[in-house]
């Protein structure tokens, strides 16, 4: 390990940093979906960079979806806690009727994968953009006392939690796969570490138990820091990393291409590689993703890099999505993801219980 080229978002330029050890703590890749609870930087950068450097990655097809995120044209999706349903909130169709009892005897208290799948099913069946979460039957004082932050945030968007049904959609929430690491956070490249959601430690399978990711960050972050401290005195002198060279590229004059590809990719992933997956949809997605990758190869080689280009390239070009789709196709034509498993695929799922490596 000799260092890294780092994109400075504030100065909009690439900076060169030499180092004996590099730690990837870049989060997951949920930005690739149309609806996500993740911040804007969750674009799979660390996974892509590690893959380019020669690291193995695993289980990238497993993405956890949270069942209830706000659906609002003028606001970013944000998570509406499951505690709302725990305190009695009902999920309803646009006509005001409940639907969860049709899917599970536990109703709104069913596990999040069942709830997310039910919401997705009803949205597709009715051809609507969202379902509704309604806790207006509870006393106003109760709602405001138990959910003060959500109440205030929604009120700022013109939604009164104590009176109005809240429009919700399932949203990509957690990337269960990532860069393979050992117990110290080491990847396959000497001096390169990965911690947090960017990594694959084996602590999460096709799903993630609540709060396990926090413990994973703490334990592996501490282990990586101790390992780096222990090994640094023994590391050889770092070779000089060449400065980033932009002498052969042009300033882009068609940024609309990147914007269009971003929009297309997020819709494609949501519709074809989302909560419910089929072989036909996955194969179609794989063909289009491969085409996008070729287009981005040409664009990246010709033009000066930008934040959007780097993030899009990291999601598409390095096959973090292509291989996820391929894995899903090879897993016996299933739509297995942490929040979904079709009944006809249960037997196949047991056959493919080990991590899927790339």
For residues 265 and 295, is the Cβ–Cβ distance under 8 A?
no
Annotated catalytic residues are: 112
**Helix 279-302 with 322-330: angle, nearest 10 deg:** 160
Contact 35, 172 (CB under 8 A): yes
Pairing of strands 199-200, 178-180: parallel
Residues 243/16, Cβ–Cβ less than 8 Å:
yes
* DSSP 8-state code for residue 235: S
Q: How many CB atoms lie within 10 A of CB 182?
A: 14
CA distances from 217 to 27, 52, 83, 198, 238 (A): 10, 23, 24, 10, 28
- Spatial contact of 227 and 233, defined as CB atoms under 8 Å apart: no
Contact predicate 241/29, CB 8 Å: no
Tokens coding 32:
């690739």
Q: Is 108 helix (H, G, I), strand (E, B) or coil?
A: helix
Shortest CA distance to 264 belongs to which of 335, 312, 200, 333? 312
Dig out the tokens for 226 from the structure: 């101790």
- In order of 36, 141, 266, the CA distances from 138 in angstroms are 28, 9, 37
Distance CA 274, CA 119 (A): 13
Map residue 52 onto helix, strand or coil.
helix
């Amino acid at each position: 390990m000799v260092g890294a080229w780092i994109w400075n978002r504030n100065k909009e330029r690439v900076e060169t940093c030499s180092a004996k050890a590099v730690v990837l703590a870049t989060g997951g890749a949920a930005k690739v979906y149309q609806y996500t609870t993740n911040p804007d930087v969750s674009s799979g950068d660390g996974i892509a960079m590690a893959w380019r450097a020669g690291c193995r990655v695993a289980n990238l097809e497993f993405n956890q979806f949270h069942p209830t995120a706000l659906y609002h044209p003028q606001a970013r999706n944000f998570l509406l806690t499951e505690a709302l349903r725990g305190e009695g909130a009902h999920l309803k169709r646009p006509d005001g009727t409940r639907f969860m009892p049709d899917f599970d005897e536990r109703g709104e208290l069913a596990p999040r994968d069942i709830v997310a799948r039910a919401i997705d099913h009803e949205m597709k069946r009715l051809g609507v953009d969202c379902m509704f979460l309604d806790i207006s039957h509870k006393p106003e004082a109760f709602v405001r006392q138990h959910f003060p932050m959500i109440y205030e945030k929604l009120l700022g968007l013109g939604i009164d939690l104590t009176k109005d049904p809240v429009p919700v959609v399932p949203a990509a929430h957690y990337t269960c796969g990532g860069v393979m690491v050992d117990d110290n956070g080491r990847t396959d490249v000497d001096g390169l570490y990965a911690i947090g959601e960017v990594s694959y430690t084996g602590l999460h399978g096709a799903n993630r138990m609540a709060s396990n990711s926090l413990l994973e960050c703490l334990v592996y972050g501490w282990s990586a820091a101790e390992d780096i401290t222990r090994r640094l005195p023994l590391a050889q002198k770092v070779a000089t990393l060449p400065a980033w060279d932009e002498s052969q590229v042009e300033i882009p004059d068609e940024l609309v291409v990147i914007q269009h590809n971003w929009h297309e990719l997020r819709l494609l992933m949501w519709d074809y590689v989302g909560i419910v997956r089929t072989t036909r949809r996955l194969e179609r997605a794989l063909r289009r993703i491969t085409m996008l990758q070729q287009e981005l190869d040409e664009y990246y080689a010709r033009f000066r890099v930008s934040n959007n280009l780097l993030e899009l390239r990291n999601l598409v070009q390095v096959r973090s999505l292509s291989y996820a789709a391929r894995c899903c196709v090879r897993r016996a034509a299933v739509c297995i993801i942490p929040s979904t498993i079709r009944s006809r695929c249960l037997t196949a799922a047991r056959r493919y219980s080990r991590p899927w490596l790339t």
